[in-house]
Amino acid sequence: MSKTLLIKNARVVVTMDDARREIADGAVFIRDNLIEHVGASVDLPQDADEIIDARDHVVIPGLINTHHHMYQSLTRVLPAAQNGELFNWLTNLYPVWANLTPEMVQVSTLTAMAELIMSGCTTSSDHLYIYPNGCKLDHSIESAQQIGMRFHAARGSMSVGRSSGGLPPDSVVENEQAILSDTQRLIETYHDAGRHAMQRIVVAPCSPFSVSRDLMKESAVLARHYGVSLHTHLAENANDIAYSREKFNMTPAQYAEDCGWVGPDAWHAHCVQLDEDGIYLFARTGTGVAHCPCSNMRLASGIAPIRKMLDAGVSVGLGVDGSASNDGAHMLGEVRQAMLLQRVGFGPDAMTARQALEIATLGGAKVLNRDDIGALKPGMSADLVLFDLNKLGFAGSWHDPVAALVFCTPADVSYSVINGRVVVKDGQFTTIDLGNVLERHNQLAHDLAEAAH
Ligand code: ZN
């Protein structure tokens, strides 16, 4: 039997449909996990099994986070890693992460997902690339199922340790054959290729400076055999470029192309230092970029040329990046930061509020190679969030509530609907006991920091 959900009387519904309609006094009618109608409240069915009165709320498609390392929620603001650039930051954190346990992965993933969902995100990718002490990607997937988030679980990996010229210590790298066979197991166990899938697997060696060229190439072959996406870090900062030039005698973009890592099924995090040829290569091949403005500022990596990428036709999504390089993983906050940072780099016209919201919805969907999320229209997955304009931070902004979401202090959602299920209701989770999760998370974060001493 089907179940219906009606969200009505919204101040405005932001559809992100082909005409980018913003519907005043809008409503969305959902049947099971799909959107059936979007329109003015008076034009939609008036009855449903469950009705949410969205008076004074803005309704938008659920935001899509295309880059994260959720386990890092356990290692926020560690004093040794507060002030370094990328390579220094990583070198200080690898030994701490070497003590991760399966429970830590589970609980930190739950915590990070709770934070994302509260901030308007309904679909997230997570890039887990360190597997000490029996940790598995399965532990992240269990947490996604528990909280009810749409999840693209990226099987990361590191295989080139310090003794072979890589950055990570030898103790945290894995054997390449083991990486590939575990990735294959995960795809066969969890990957759902269908529309409206709640879980997908991504093949995701960590970065050019922590895996071999062979593993990059083998990963692309494996991903294409199964029709799953590819994800890694690329061209993050000047040291990253120098490593690529010295080790491979190529720019990061040339290296990506050489390894088979371009196409609509591949997306790269950061690309702060992607050069002009790289931008055109990505545009031509449909290769995606995960833009992570807060992390790029935090690690002083630079300002990614997003305006230029968009003008060239590159698919760009947003990512909060790991919780240890963006210590506040607020998705709507990241939208705001994306808009502000482009303006710092490229002038006041470089990005509008609506363009930033579009990157975080339609852009993210494209980067994750999906056509069923990122917009509110019939036939799409029922992923949407509500923001209450009566919150203090929105005072005085009601003449343009849509822009207010991005310009004003980042707000938390009052409702989140993911795959037709009300996951947040009146600002509270319906799927987890957040207090218990946080208590355990903070204990585990303490244990992890202590273990490193
Ligand atoms: Zn990252």
Q: Model confidence over 353-397: pLDDT tens digits? A: 999 999 999 999 999 999 999 999 999 999 999 999 999 999 999
**pLDDT above 90: residue 19:** yes
- Across the chain, mean pLDDT equals 97
The first and second tokens of residue 379, run together, are: 């036939």
Q: ∠ CA 311-346-342 to the nearest 5 degrees?
A: 80
3-state secondary structure of 415: strand
Q: Give the count of alpha carbons within 13 A of 195, CB side only.
A: 9
Measured in whole angstroms, how far is the alpha carbon of residue 257 from the centre of its chain? Answer: 23
Give the pLDDT mean for 113-128: 98
Return the pLDDT at 441: 98
Query: What spacing in Å lies between the alpha carbon of 412 and ligand 1's midpoint?
Result: 24
Query: What spacing in Å lies between the alpha carbon of 105 and ligand 1's midpoint?
Result: 16
Query: What spacing in Å lies between the alpha carbon of 429 and ligand 1's midpoint?
Result: 27
Query: What spacing in Å lies between the alpha carbon of 238 and ligand 1's midpoint?
Result: 16
Query: Binning pLDDT at 50, 70 and 90, where does residue 452 land?
Result: confident
Query: What spacing in Å lies between the alpha carbon of 157 and ligand 1's midpoint?
Result: 12
Listed residue (159, 298, 180, 296) closest to 240, CA to CA: 296
Query: What spacing in Å lies between the alpha carbon of 310 and ligand 1's midpoint?
Result: 21
Query: What spacing in Å lies between the alpha carbon of 55 and ligand 1's midpoint?
Result: 38
Which segment of 32-36, 52-56, 148-152, 167-171 scores lowest on mean pLDDT?
167-171
pTM equals 0.98
Query: What spacing in Å lies between the alpha carbon of 297 and ligand 1's midpoint?
Result: 13
CA–CA gap between residue 185 and residue 203 (Å, rounded): 12
User: Are 42 and 8 in contact, with CB atoms under 8 Å apart?
Assistant: no
Query: What spacing in Å lies between the alpha carbon of 344 and ligand 1's midpoint?
Result: 23
Query: What spacing in Å lies between the alpha carbon of 28 and ligand 1's midpoint?
Result: 35
Query: Binning pLDDT at 50, 70 and 90, where does residue 166 land?
Result: confident
Query: What spacing in Å lies between the alpha carbon of 145 and ligand 1's midpoint?
Result: 23
Surface-to-core class of residue 213, CB atoms within 10 Å of its CB (0-12 exposed, 13-18 middle, 19+ buried): middle
The first and second tokens of residue 269, run together, are: 């995090």
Return the pLDDT at 1: 76
Query: What spacing in Å lies between the alpha carbon of 394 and ligand 1's midpoint?
Result: 31
User: Are 263 and 231 in contact, with CB atoms under 8 Å apart?
Assistant: no
Query: What spacing in Å lies between the alpha carbon of 13 and ligand 1's midpoint?
Result: 32
Measured in whole angstroms, how far is the alpha carbon of residue 69 from the centre of its chain? Answer: 9
Query: What spacing in Å lies between the alpha carbon of 69 and ligand 1's midpoint?
Result: 6
3-state secondary structure of 378: coil
DSSP 8-class letter at 195: T
Q: Give the count of alpha carbons within 13 A of 215, CB side only.
A: 28
Signed CA dihedral, 183, 186, 188, 193: sign only: negative
Which helix H or strand E contains 176, and what residues bound it?
helix 176-190
* Amino acid identity at 447: D
Listed residue (283, 290, 315) closest to 304, CA to CA: 290
3-state secondary structure of 26: strand
Give 57's strand partners.
388
Which residue do the tokens 């887990």 mark? 128
Query: What spacing in Å lies between the alpha carbon of 64 and ligand 1's midpoint?
Result: 16
Give 154's strand partners.
127, 202
CA–CA gap between residue 404 and residue 34 (Å, rounded): 28
User: Are 65 and 382 in contact, with CB atoms under 8 Å apart?
Assistant: no
Q: ∠ CA 139-218-185 to the nearest 5 degrees?
A: 30
Query: What spacing in Å lies between the alpha carbon of 237 and ligand 1's midpoint?
Result: 12
Query: Binning pLDDT at 50, 70 and 90, where does residue 185 land?
Result: very high
Query: What spacing in Å lies between the alpha carbon of 17 and ligand 1's midpoint?
Result: 30
Query: What spacing in Å lies between the alpha carbon of 192 and ligand 1's midpoint?
Result: 24
Residue range 297-340, pLDDT digits in tens: 999 999 999 999 999 999 999 999 998 999 999 999 999 999 99
CA–CA gap between residue 246 and residue 251 (Å, rounded): 10
Residue range 412-441, pLDDT digits in tens: 999 999 999 999 999 999 999 999 999 999
The first and second tokens of residue 450, run together, are: 């202590």
CA–CA gap between residue 301 and residue 313 (Å, rounded): 23
Query: What spacing in Å lies between the alpha carbon of 269 and ligand 1's midpoint?
Result: 7
Q: Helix (H) and strand (E) counts for the chain?
A: 15, 17
Query: What spacing in Å lies between the alpha carbon of 419 and ligand 1's midpoint?
Result: 27
The first and second tokens of residue 211, run together, are: 């895996």
CA–CA gap between residue 183 and residue 189 (Å, rounded): 10
**pLDDT above 80: residue 453:** no
Query: What spacing in Å lies between the alpha carbon of 44 and ligand 1's midpoint?
Result: 43
User: Are 186 and 155 in contact, with CB atoms under 8 Å apart?
Assistant: yes
Query: What spacing in Å lies between the alpha carbon of 76 and ligand 1's midpoint?
Result: 14
Listed residue (95, 129, 321, 299) closest to 206, CA to CA: 129
3-state secondary structure of 131: coil
Query: What spacing in Å lies between the alpha carbon of 159 and ligand 1's midpoint?
Result: 17
Signed CA dihedral, 344, 350, 352, 355: sign only: negative
Query: What spacing in Å lies between the alpha carbon of 47 and ligand 1's midpoint?
Result: 45
